[in-house]
């Protein structure tokens, strides 16, 4: 009996592993996560002080798109199910956006940018358009994908944790492959058509990596959609109510509820534990976003002391970006390991304690990055590259951050899914609302990073310091909340 129960549990876990998690492989991997756009947009001529404003598109689209898509997907009556139509549509948007971003330099030239112009305004316009479309597609895909996992977990807390752990695992797989492509500097030789007189070697490498990921995006989305046996909404209601006519009336009543009314009702139903989860999530993302925004830029600019806007410093900066992508690949390997074991860790220690400890580790690592910045600033490099000590210290910081990143990508979503089931809130809308706790801090950091850049002399350490403080506070709040609400 014990063996049969174990085999049944193992089978259900692998159903979660092979279904919607395939899509999340793309959400980070298809765009080489976040490390390539920051250096690339500076290569197009956007000053470092304005780079964070480009990233406003993600939070702004997430502020509107995810809650709205979550609400609509909870009520969709398509034969494909409630979630899969949005996963397919979002994937198409992502593929188009990646093409726009990767060919932005060529598009800019076709529209009239001078070949040797320092600031390529039309290319920047194409890049920003593609980047906005990317974030819209990402938000359209991610919410329904998370909700589909919760649907498949069928109100089982352990399966919900396992499913979100697998979700984080596939994000890490995508990251590893994405960052691996960034460490290789000769993609343009394998895809020679990518290098043009408008697109230099670094641009061609970026373009090649993006084209590879468009292919992977199509394949993994097909696997996800074809393997997820989602039950349409009307058939779910038939099972619950025992009749086709009753189910049709129930679905019609559900669909008559407006988004604004449902949004207000959901806020009223949300209890203190859910608000605590939202608060800790928001504080965590105040910590994470400066790192995600500037990780490889920090490596190229502050560790390697390069400058993408000068002829002498651009080569050093590019070497730093490649070194940063290698560090992020190690980060993703650590993320893989902890994602795979997240259910075991949370079962032993409790989700709240795991989340709190991970946030304090985050704070310590971000503080270490600030110290490394000062260390690098106050020593002379003998061969134009950082010393072994500085590089190894940076590598360790990036790698260790993989553990708290695994927690951030899984625990909050699992907790919200569990709590929303307890009080009867739709999975799509509740996870869309959780996204608000992510995008609002991102918007704040995107707006503040530019002025902080000026105040602190052009470095990233001002934003990283804010991130360290926010991460520490989120850790304390998470640990204290264990004694109040449990889990």
Helix axes 427-455, 411-423, angle to 10 degrees: 140
Listed ranges 404-408, 418-422, 462-466, 480-484; the one with the highest mean pLDDT? 404-408
Q: Domain boundary at 210, 233, 256, which?
A: 233
Q: Are 101 and 130 in contact (CB under 8 A)?
A: yes
Judged by DSSP in three states, 46 sits in coil
Q: Domain boundary at 233, 258, 293, which?
A: 233
**Tokens 């400890």 label which residue?**
357
The answer to whether residue 366 scores a pLDDT higher than 50 is: yes
The reported pLDDT for the residue numbered 486 is 61
pTM given for the model? 0.73
The reported pLDDT for the residue numbered 293 is 79
In this structure, the answer to whether residues 288 and 399 fall within a common structural domain is: yes
In this structure, the answer to whether residues 275 and 211 fall within a common structural domain is: no
Residue 247 lies in a domain: no
- How far apart, in whole angstroms, are the C-alpha atoms of residue 318 and residue 316? 5
Confidence of residue 401 (pLDDT cuts 50, 70, 90): very high
- How far apart, in whole angstroms, are the C-alpha atoms of residue 294 and residue 447? 14
- How far apart, in whole angstroms, are the C-alpha atoms of residue 434 and residue 425? 13
- How far apart, in whole angstroms, are the C-alpha atoms of residue 458 and residue 448? 13
Q: Domain boundary at 185, 216, 233, which?
A: 233
Residue 7 lies in a domain: no
- How far apart, in whole angstroms, are the C-alpha atoms of residue 384 and residue 391? 13
Residue 258 lies in a domain: no
DSSP-assigned letter for residue 299: I
| Lookup: tokens for 199 | 């697109």
Residue 5 lies in a domain: no
How distant, in Å, are the alpha carbons of 66, 197, 303, 366 from that of 145?
A: 11, 40, 37, 30
* 282-338 pLDDT, tens digit each: 999 999 988 887 888 888 888 888 877 666 666 788 888 888 888 888 888 898 888
Residue 225 lies in a domain: yes
The reported pLDDT for the residue numbered 234 is 54
In this structure, the answer to whether residues 318 and 228 fall within a common structural domain is: no
In this structure, the answer to whether residues 176 and 43 fall within a common structural domain is: yes
> Tell me, what CATH number does 420's domain have?
1.20.1250.20
In this structure, the answer to whether residues 144 and 282 fall within a common structural domain is: no
| 403: Cβ contacts below 8 Å, ≥ 6 apart | 334, 335, 338, 358, 361
Q: Is 193 exposed, middle or buried (0-12, 13-18, 19+ CB in 10 A)?
A: exposed
Judged by DSSP in three states, 424 sits in coil
* 116-141 pLDDT, tens digit each: 767 778 888 888 888 888 888 888 88
φ and ψ at residue 321, rounded to 5 degrees? -65, -40
In this structure, the answer to whether residues 464 and 419 fall within a common structural domain is: yes
Residue 6 lies in a domain: no
Number of folded domains in the chain? 2
- How far apart, in whole angstroms, are the C-alpha atoms of residue 227 and residue 16? 10
| 265: Cβ contacts below 8 Å, ≥ 6 apart | none
- How far apart, in whole angstroms, are the C-alpha atoms of residue 176 and residue 180? 6
CB atoms within 10 A of CB 385: 17
In this structure, the answer to whether residues 104 and 156 fall within a common structural domain is: yes
**HSE of 173, CA atoms in CB hemisphere, 13 A:** 17
Please give the average per-residue pLDDT across 393-404, as a whole number.
94
Residue 123 lies in a domain: yes
| Lookup: tokens for 148 | 């589909």
Judged by DSSP in three states, 482 sits in helix
In this structure, the answer to whether residues 163 and 300 fall within a common structural domain is: no
The answer to whether residue 476 scores a pLDDT higher than 90 is: yes
In this structure, the answer to whether residues 68 and 206 fall within a common structural domain is: yes
Residue 8 lies in a domain: no
Please give the average per-residue pLDDT across 61-84, as a whole number.
79
In this structure, the answer to whether residues 316 and 442 fall within a common structural domain is: yes
Q: Which domain holds residue 478?
A: 266-486
The reported pLDDT for the residue numbered 18 is 53
In this structure, the answer to whether residues 454 and 377 fall within a common structural domain is: yes
In this structure, the answer to whether residues 325 and 437 fall within a common structural domain is: yes
């Amino acid at each position: 009996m014990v063996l049969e129960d174990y085999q049944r549990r193992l089978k259900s876990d692998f159903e979660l592993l092979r279904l919607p998690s395939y899509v999340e492989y793309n959400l980070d991997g298809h765009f080489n996560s976040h490390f390539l756009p920051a250096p690339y947009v500076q290569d197009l001529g956007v000053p470092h002080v304005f780079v964070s404003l480009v990233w406003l598109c993600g939070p702004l689209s997430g502020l509107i798109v995810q809650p709205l898509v979550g609400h609509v997907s909870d009520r969709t009556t398509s034969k494909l199910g409630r979630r899969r139509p949005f996963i397919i549509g979002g994937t198409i948007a992502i593929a188009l956006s990646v093409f726009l971003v990767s060919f932005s330099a060529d598009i800019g030239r076709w529209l009239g940018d001078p070949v040797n112009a320092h600031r390529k305004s039309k290319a920047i316009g194409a890049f920003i358009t593609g980047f906005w479309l990317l974030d819209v597609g990402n938000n359209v895909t991610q919410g329904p994908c998370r909700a589909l996992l919760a649907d498949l977990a069928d109100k089982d807390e352990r399966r919900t944790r396992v499913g979100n752990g697998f979700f984080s695992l596939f994000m890490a797989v995508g990251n590893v492959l994405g960052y691996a492509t960034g460490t290789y500097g000769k993609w343009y030789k394998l895809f020679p058509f990518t290098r043009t007189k408008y697109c230099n070697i670094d641009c061609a490498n970026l373009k090649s990596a993006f084209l590879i990921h468009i292919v992977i995006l199509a394949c993994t989305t097909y696997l996800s959609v074809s393997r997820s046996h989602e039950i349409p909404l009307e058939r779910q209601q038939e099972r619950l109510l025992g009749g086709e006519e009753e189910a049709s009336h129930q679905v019609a009543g559900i669909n008559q509820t407006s988004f604004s009314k449902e949004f207000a009702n959901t806020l009223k139903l949300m209890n203190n534990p859910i608000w605590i989860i939202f608060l800790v999530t928001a504080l965590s993302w105040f910590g994470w976003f400066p790192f995600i925004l500037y990780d490889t830029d920090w490596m190229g600019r502050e560790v390697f002391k390069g400058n993408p806007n000068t002829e002498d410093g651009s080569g050093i900066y590019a070497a730093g970006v490649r070194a940063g992508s290698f560090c992020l690949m190690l980060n993703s390997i650590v993320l893989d390991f902890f994602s795979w074991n997240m259910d075991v860790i949370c079962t032993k220690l409790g989700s709240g304690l795991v989340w709190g400890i991970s946030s304090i580790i985050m704070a310590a690592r971000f503080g270490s990055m600030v110290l490394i910045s000062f260390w690098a600033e106050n020593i002379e490099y003998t061969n134009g590259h950082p010393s072994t000590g500085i590089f190894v210290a940076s590598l360790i910081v990036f790698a260790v951050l993989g553990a708290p990143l695994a927690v951030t990508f899984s625990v909050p979503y699992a907790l919200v899914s569990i709590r929303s089931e307890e009080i009867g809130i739709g999975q799509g809308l509740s996870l869309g609302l959780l996204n608000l706790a992510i995008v609002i801090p991102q918007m704040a950091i995107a707006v503040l990073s530019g002025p902080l850049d000026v105040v602190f002399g052009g470095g990233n350490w001002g934003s990283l310091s804010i991130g360290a403080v926010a991460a520490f506070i989120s850790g304390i709040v998470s640990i204290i909340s264990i004694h109040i609400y449990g889990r």
